[in-house]
C-alpha cells in the first residue's frame, strides 16, 4: 500500500484518534494509515498545535494547505538545467539522447544519470515539439 492517496477526512480521522491518545502503531494496526506516515502527520500536528484536545480540529482547507504545501517542497530542479541552452541546441540538431549524455559527462563532468537527461529531453520535446526538426 505504498504511495497511497489519502483524503482529507482520513487525515482528520487519524488526527482525532491521535488526540484521543492512540499511538502510531495502533493507527497502523487499524489500517487507517501506515506507521511512518502517521509519525510524519504527528510531527506536523505537533508543530501546528492540532493535538491539543482543547482546540478544534483544523478544517479541511487548512489541513490541505499544510499537507499539499509539503508536497510541493519536494520538487527538484533537473540536473540538466544548468546545461539547458547547450542541450536544447543539440536537440535541435537532432543529436540522440545517449550522445548528449556522454557529451555532458565528458565536457562538463556531469554526475547525473542518463535518465535525468532522458526526462529533460522528454519534457522539452513535449513543450517545444514545433522546434524539433525530423531527419
CA distance readout (Å), 24 to 31, 52, 63, 65, 67:
11, 17, 19, 23, 18
Query: Is residue 35's pLDDT more than 90?
Result: yes
Confidence band of 1 (pLDDT split at 50, 70, 90): very low
Whether the Cβ atoms of residue 54 and residue 67 lie closer than 8 Å to each other: no
What is the value of pTM for the model shown? 0.50
Q: What is the DSSP letter of 54?
A: T
Confidence band of 105 (pLDDT split at 50, 70, 90): very high
User: According to the model, what pLDDT value does residue 9 have?
Assistant: 85
User: According to the model, what pLDDT value does residue 134 have?
Assistant: 45
Q: Mean pLDDT of all residues in the chain?
A: 85
Residue from 81, 83, 92, 76 nearest 125 by CA: 92
Query: Is residue 78's pLDDT more than 80?
Result: yes
CA distance readout (Å), 84 to 14, 34, 76, 114:
44, 40, 15, 15
Mean pLDDT of 78-99: 92
Amino acid at each position: 500500500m505504498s504511495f497511497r492517496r489519502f483524503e482529507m477526512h482520513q487525515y482528520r480521522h487519524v488526527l482525532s484518534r491521535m488526540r484521543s491518545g492512540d499511538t502510531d502503531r495502533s493507527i497502523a494496526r487499524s489500517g487507517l494509515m501506515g506507521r511512518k506516515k502517521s509519525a510524519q502527520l504527528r510531527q506536523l500536528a505537533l508543530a501546528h498545535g492540532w493535538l491539543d484536545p482543547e482546540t478544534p480540529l483544523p478544517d479541511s482547507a487548512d489541513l490541505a494547505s499544510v499537507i499539499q504545501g509539503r508536497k510541493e517542497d519536494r520538487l527538484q530542479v533537473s540536473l540538466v538545467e544548468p546545461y539547458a541552452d547547450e542541450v536544447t541546441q543539440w536537440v535541435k540538431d537532432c543529436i540522440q539522447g545517449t550522445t548528449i549524455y556522454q557529451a555532458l559527462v565528458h565536457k562538463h563532468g556531469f554526475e547525473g544519470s542518463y535518465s535525468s537527461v532522458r526526462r529533460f529531453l522528454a519534457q522539452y520535446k513535449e513543450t517545444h515539439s514545433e522546434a524539433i526538426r525530423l531527419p
